[in-house]
């Protein structure tokens, strides 16, 4: 029965706070007294006999009231406007209604910024410090996150000039980077959330030195390749003479004929090789 109405708004926006009575079209505001109060004691706006009789300094030029449904409009909304608003309507000095509405004011946080502390390629330790920060929001947020979908606890700290000022939040996480991880950091406030993800790769160069097999394989391959090249060079140098000493003159002539035939088109290119032949 005492369930209170709730209105959410962001700093700088225009918000409507509903009242509990609508004046029928047969009547006008002139027969009524309307009080919009905040936190019981502060009068935000008051009307009597159709005229504004009171206006709070802090709300000056930021408020309006609908003359029919008595809705209070606030624009632009400020953090200090957060709180409970009470609408009291009287007709001929008899209270028609009296109701409170809670206004929750929110200011957006910046998209979280994730940074890694220390030299990223340090091979001495796999321990990494991750810092997630976000600023300029309201109210005081929660910071949560996940490493590869597994939720983690951030060590959070908040900075604010007062309990009704924007907050800056920083979360710190220390963990051992033993495989590639996807880090997500979320800042949550009044049912809103902003998050950022960062893919952190395990440094590769650190694991290689204590594993000699790849090195040996590379050395062996190089030796094999060099041996092969040497063998081909030697074969190219000595094999033709060896063959020629056994072959007959006819074959020699045929080969020379072929060489002469190929000489013509090759000499066109003027390569050193053909001219030497
Ligand atoms: C009050 O009236 C205004 C305009 O006449 C309308 O925008 C608003 O939604 C109304 N509010 C309620 C609570 O009926
Ligand atoms: C409401 O008023 C009381 C006393 O009048 C004060 O202590 C309290 O801080 C006020 N709350 C807000 C949100 O202004
Ligand atoms: C409200 O508006 C009037 C007229 O536009 C201006 O003279 C006055 O300084 C304003 N008050 C505030 C608090 O901004
Ligand atoms: C905003 O006002 C509501 C109602 O008074 C209160 O419950 C809430 O704590 C306030 N929020 C902040 C951040 O002060
Ligand atoms: C994130 O933080 C780093 C280090 O503090 C800074 O250089 C960088 O500009 C920030 N990025 C954003 C988007 O705020
Ligand atoms: C992460 O978790 C969500 C729900 O918890 C699931 O739908 C998604 O498939 C998961 N992703 C990976 C990569 O495990
Ligand atoms: C959180 O950080 C504070 C200060 O940086 C430190 O004293 C505290 O031990 C940390 N808590 C955890 C659980 O790491
Ligand atoms: C919050 O962060 C912003 C931007 O980094 C900075 O200008 C501001 O002074 C910080 N506020 C507080 C209360 O530290
Ligand atoms: C990371 O690993 C080192 C050595 O294995 C260990 O001493 C340290 O406590 C670990 N840190 C975390 C945050 O798990
Ligand atoms: C990291 O995880 C978040 C949330 O689970 C997801 O949205 C994002 O696409 C992932 N990023 C990468 C690079 O896998």
| 146 contacts: CB under 8 Å, gap ≥ 6 | 152, 183, 184
| Mode of pairing for the β-strands spanning 51-55 and 42-48 | antiparallel
Measured in Å, residue 108 CA sits from the centre of ligand 7 at: 27
pLDDT at 222: 72
Asked if residue 14 belongs to a domain, the reply is: yes
Distance from Cα 242 to the centre of ligand 10, integer Å: 69
The alpha helices in the chain, defined as continuous H runs, are 213-246, 249-269, 272-276
Q: With bands split at pLDDT 50, 70 and 90, how would you rate the model's confidence at 250?
A: low
Is residue 247 one of the residues assigned to a domain?
Answer: no
Q: Is the CB of 83 under 6 A from ligand 4?
A: yes
Atom of ligand 3 nearest to the CA of 57: 13
Give the residue with greater pLDDT, 219 vs 34. 34
Do both 63 and 149 map to the same domain?
no
Residue 82 has pLDDT above 90, yes or no: yes
Tell me, what CATH number does 84's domain have? 2.60.40.10
**Is 210 part of any domain?**
no
* Residue bearing the CA closest to ligand 5, atom 12: 113
Q: Is the pLDDT of residue 195 over 90?
A: yes
Whole-number pLDDT of residue 151 = 94
For the CA of 83, the closest atom of ligand 2 is 13
Q: What is the pLDDT of residue 241?
A: 60
Tokens of 164: 């009704």
Q: Say whether both 100 and 117 belong to one domain.
A: no
Average pLDDT rounded to a whole number, residues 255-269: 47
Region 235-255: mean pLDDT is 58
Q: What is the pLDDT of residue 122?
A: 59
Core vs surface per residue 224-247: b (16+ CB within 10 A) or e: eeeeeeeeeeeeeeeeeeeeeeee
Number of domains in the chain: 2
User: In this model, does residue 73 exceed pLDDT 80?
Assistant: yes
Residues 35, 90: one domain?
Answer: yes
Same domain, 10 and 101: yes
In a domain, 215, yes or no: no
Last residue of a domain, one of 106, 136, 159: 106
Q: Which of 47, 75, 106 is the last residue of a domain?
A: 106
Q: Are residues 151 and 59 in the same domain?
A: no
Is 41 buried (19+), middle (13-18) or exposed (0-12) by CB count in 10 A? exposed
β-strands 192-200, 142-147 pairing = unpaired
Whether residue 115 sits in one domain with residue 98: no
Q: Which of 166, 200, 234 lies at the terminal end of a domain, its last residue? A: 200
19-33, 134-148, 206-220: least confidently modelled range: 206-220
Do 148 and 179 share a domain, yes or no?
yes
Instruction: Write the CB contacts of 135 (distance below 8 Å, at least 6 apart in sequence).
Output: 109, 110, 166, 167, 168, 169
176, part of any domain? yes
**In this structure, are residues 183 and 130 in contact, taking their beta carbons and an 8 Å threshold?**
yes
Closest by CA to 78, choosing from 99, 58, 55, is 58
CA–centroid distance, 250 to ligand 10, in Å, is: 77
Q: Which domain holds residue 179?
A: 110-200
Question: Is 245 a domain residue?
Answer: no
Instruction: Scan for tokens 């004929």, then name that residue.
Output: 257
46 and 120 assigned to the same domain: no
Please give all residues whose beta carbon lies within 6 A of any atom in ligand 2, as ranges: 39, 41, 83
* More confident of the two residues 1 and 199: 199
What pLDDT band is residue 273 in, cutting at 50, 70 and 90?
Answer: very low
Check residues 246 and 124 and name the one with the higher pLDDT. 124
pTM for the predicted model, two decimal places? 0.71
88 and 114: one domain?
Answer: no
For residue 56, the 8-state DSSP code is: -
Mean pLDDT of the chain: 83
C-alpha span between 23 and 50 (Å, rounded) = 12
In a domain, 180, yes or no: yes
205 pLDDT band, cuts 50/70/90, is low
Give the distance (Å) from ligand 4 centre to CA of residue 104. 6
Q: Is there a domain that residue 196 lies in?
A: yes
Q: Which of 38-42, 182-186, 205-209, 262-266 has the lowest mean pLDDT?
A: 262-266
Domain co-membership, 59 together with 29: yes
Say whether both 126 and 97 belong to one domain.
Answer: no
If asked whether residues 9 and 79 sit together in one domain, one would say yes
């Amino acid at each position: 029965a005492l369930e209170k109405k709730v209105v959410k708004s962001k700093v700088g926006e225009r918000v409507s706070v509903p009242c509990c009575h609508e004046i029928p079209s047969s009547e006008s505001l002139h027969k009524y007294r309307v009080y919009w109060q905040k936190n019981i004691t502060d009068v935000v706006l008051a009307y009597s006999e159709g005229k504004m009789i009171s206006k709070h300094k802090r709300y000056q030029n930021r408020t309006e009231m609908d003359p029919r449904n008595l809705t209070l409009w606030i624009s632009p909304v400020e953090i200090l406007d957060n709180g409970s608003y009470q609408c009291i309507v009287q007709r001929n000095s008899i209270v028609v209604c009296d109701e409170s509405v809670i206004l929750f004011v929110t200011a957006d946080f910046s998209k979280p910024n994730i940074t890694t502390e220390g030299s990223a390629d340090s091979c001495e330790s796999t321990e990494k410090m991750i810092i997630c920060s976000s600023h300029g929001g309201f109210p005081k947020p929660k910071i949560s996150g996940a490493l590869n979908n597994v939720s983690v606890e951030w060590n959070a700290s908040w900075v604010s000039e007062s309990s009704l000022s924007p907050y800056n939040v920083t979360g710190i996480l220390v963990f051992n980077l033993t495989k590639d991880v996807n880090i997500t950091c979320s800042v949550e406030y009044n049912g809103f959330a902003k998050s950022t993800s960062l893919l952190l790769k395990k440094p590769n160069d650190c694991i290689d030195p204590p594993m000699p097999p790849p090195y040996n394989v590379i050395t062996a391959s190089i030796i094999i390749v060099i041996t092969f090249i040497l063998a081909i060079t030697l074969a190219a140098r000595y094999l033709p003479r060896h063959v020629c000493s056994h072959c007959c003159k006819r074959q020699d002539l045929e080969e020379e004929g072929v060489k002469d035939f190929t000489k013509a088109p090759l000499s066109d290119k003027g390569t050193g090789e053909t001219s030497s032949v």
